[in-house]
Chains A and B, each alone.
Chain A
Amino acid sequence: MKVLVCVKQTFDTEAKIELKDGKISDAGINLIINPYDEVAVEGAIQLKEKGIASEVVVVSAGSDKAMDAIRTALAMGADRGILIKQDTGADEYARAVAIAEVIRSEDPNLVLAGHVAADDGSSQVPTRIAEILGWPHINVITSLEIADGKVRCSSEADGGSQVTEVKLPAVISCQVSWNEPRYPSMKGIMQAKKKPVATVDAVAVENKTRIIEYFLPQAKQAGVKVEGEPEECAAKLADFIKNTAKIEVKA
């Protein structure tokens, strides 16, 4: 069975986001493999270790920098990579179209991905891919089993969990709690360079969305400190609520 894993290169989750000329600046930012995708890679490698998967292919769409994410996945134990060269301004639709095109030609039995990217958090690409391919899709999974051409997953549901089974091929997106991704080993890192990575151009499609503006969350304002005797404080607070915060108090 062939497993294809979609990975995205994202900002380090501790990176300080800054805007430059109305765009998010990546100057001096540490790029990492999206932590959710790292879990998907780990899941795929475990399927291979269990003898269920025979090949693990990692796919990333983006600039040359996305090669790092692919190499990390190869160092963890994936077999080969495909870099889809695509403009960094591509939206979720264009990304999904490009990746689905590669999936069609690779023809895997299972597609895995993180359910969300730690940077833009849009949670759209795996679902869109499933839609384009017309494949079944299970989202935010926390466990996965494969038997008789089917995949059965537990996934998070509001306040609980649900078990879903679909036929393969399918697109599955995972939650971070599915597993604990391994560190790439020293040998894994040395071997990663020798593993094949193909580079393809993305199919040209127009974005369906346009980002109008980026802005940073407002800096937290310092709080107001009320000092004095309890009665004084209570009076000041009541005044603040009524006159400054303008909260209407209904009897």
Chain B
Amino acid sequence: MDFRLTEEQEMMKRMAREFADNEIAPYAQEWDKNNIFPEETVKKMHELGLMTIGVPAEYGGPGLDHVAQNIVTEEIARGDAGIATTMAASTLLAADPVLIAGTHEQKKWFYGMQNEGAIAAFCLTEPEAGSDVANLSTRCIKDGDYYILNGTKQFISNGGVAQLYVVFATLDKKLGHKGICAFMVDRNTPGVSVGPKEDKLGIRSSNTTQVIFEDVRVPAKNLLGKEGEGFKIAMKTLDLSRASVAAMAVGVAQAAMEASIKYAKERKQFGKPIASFQAIQFMLADMAQYIHAARLLYLEASSRQDMGLPFTQIASLAKCFAGDVAMKVATDAVQIFGGYGYTKEYPVEKYFRDAKIMQIFEGTAQVQRLVIARDLLRD
């Protein structure tokens, strides 16, 4: 077993870290405060290939392995989890269904648009179908060479800024998950609209909206896989992207720990830096352990993906653990900063708010535990 990164992975990590330090972190609090989607920074990220880390080399992308994709995601999230969400939702989460089930022609079209700068969004959740996604009610009806889509998608990352949507809809709710289909939908198709931007607790630089489909005629050639394969595609996609959410969570935790270490050395009480108090030292030592373990979990999941080995279980462990780690570390970071941590003068209250989403989206902490336990208890 060799835990070292390859030369390319090291270089990508360094590049993403420098980019996050110089182009993201200095502005993250401002974006957060004013609910700004940083369009210019996203453009810069596109030029550097960060917005296409999921595009394979044979389709004009950089052709990163999953380990590299997720290391980069961690580093970007260390700068701002919101912009990391924008990146990962577009080039990983929304593109994975195409990677999993797309034909050569479909990939050429989808990745081609992404290479040109198109942002993508993954439209699965609905107002009445969150954890229970198989219960979705967006309809698709076959009409000649088209499918007609009707329904509303909820909490869609990049909803308002995407040019490409991957949408899950059902032929007939009575068929349960066997009726679900996946489509690639161009934003310019008549009948596609987006709701107002959600006013969120955290990851406020990411754009989250409803996406509404009213009699949207989608060419049949945009169906991913076969009719009824949509649920399987969605589950495989979520399996794949769990490691990247875990990486994002580790990025937030890492940022919170680094801020805590710096502050603990500077802040003096009782005539000494608070870092000299064992109570503070122990919190820092715990942070380091949790973060390292969470990082190894997402790296193992990513590495298994790259090697073609089963990874569902380890990806759930990684996602669930890393989400909880981000929350715990960010909470302790606020504690170390004391009253100052409770104000917007310092960055830790933002990490605290950003961390919470890691326990909610792409399968809540409870749903992850369900999946893990189901696997453990299987006869």
- Chain A residues with a Cβ under 8 A of chain B: 71-72, 75, 183-190, 192-193
Question: Could you tell me if A190 and B7 are in contact, using CB atoms closer than 8 angstroms?
Answer: no
Question: Could you tell me if B57 and A186 are in contact, using CB atoms closer than 8 angstroms?
Answer: no
Question: Could you tell me if B8 and A193 are in contact, using CB atoms closer than 8 angstroms?
Answer: yes
- Asked if B317 is at the interface of the complex by the 8 Å CB criterion, the answer is no
- Among all A-B residue pairs, the 7 with the closest Cβ atoms: A186-B49, A186-B62, A187-B62, A185-B49, A185-B48, A189-B11, A190-B62
- Chain B residues with a Cβ under 8 A of chain A: 7-8, 11-12, 15, 18-19, 47-50, 52-53, 57, 61-64, 72
CB of A38, distance to nearest CB on chain B (Å): 11
Question: Could you tell me if A186 and B53 are in contact, using CB atoms closer than 8 angstroms?
Answer: yes
Question: Could you tell me if B12 and A189 are in contact, using CB atoms closer than 8 angstroms?
Answer: yes
Question: Could you tell me if A185 and B47 are in contact, using CB atoms closer than 8 angstroms?
Answer: yes
Among A183, A185, A189, point to the contact of B8 (Cβ < 8 A): A189
Residues of A within 8 A of B49 (CB): 185-188
A-B contact count (CB 8 A): 43
Question: Could you tell me if B48 and A186 are in contact, using CB atoms closer than 8 angstroms?
Answer: yes
Residues of A within 8 A of B11 (CB): 71-72, 75, 184, 189, 192
Residues of B within 8 A of A72 (CB): 11
The interface centre, meaning the residue of B11, B49, B57, B63 with most chain A CB atoms within 10 A of its CB, is B11
Residues of A within 8 A of B61 (CB): 187
Q: Check A190/B19 contact, CB under 8 A, given A183-B48, A185-B48, A185-B49.
A: no
Residues of A within 8 A of B12 (CB): 186, 189
Question: Could you tell me if A186 and B50 are in contact, using CB atoms closer than 8 angstroms?
Answer: yes
Q: Given the complex of chains A and B, what is the CA–CA distance between A72 and B13 in angstroms?
A: 13
Residues of B within 8 A of A193 (CB): 7-8
Q: Check A190/B64 contact, CB under 8 A, given A183-B48, A185-B49.
A: yes
Question: Could you tell me if B18 and A183 are in contact, using CB atoms closer than 8 angstroms?
Answer: yes
CB of B61, distance to nearest CB on chain A (Å): 8
Q: Check A186/B19 contact, CB under 8 A, given A71-B11, A72-B11.
A: no
CB of A77, distance to nearest CB on chain B (Å): 12
Q: Which residue of the partner chain B has the closest CB to A191?
A: B62
Question: Could you tell me if A71 and B7 are in contact, using CB atoms closer than 8 angstroms?
Answer: yes
Question: Could you tell me if A186 and B52 are in contact, using CB atoms closer than 8 angstroms?
Answer: yes
9 A-B contact pairs sorted by A residue (CB < 8 Å): A184-B11, A185-B47, A185-B49, A186-B53, A186-B62, A189-B11, A189-B62, A190-B63, A193-B7
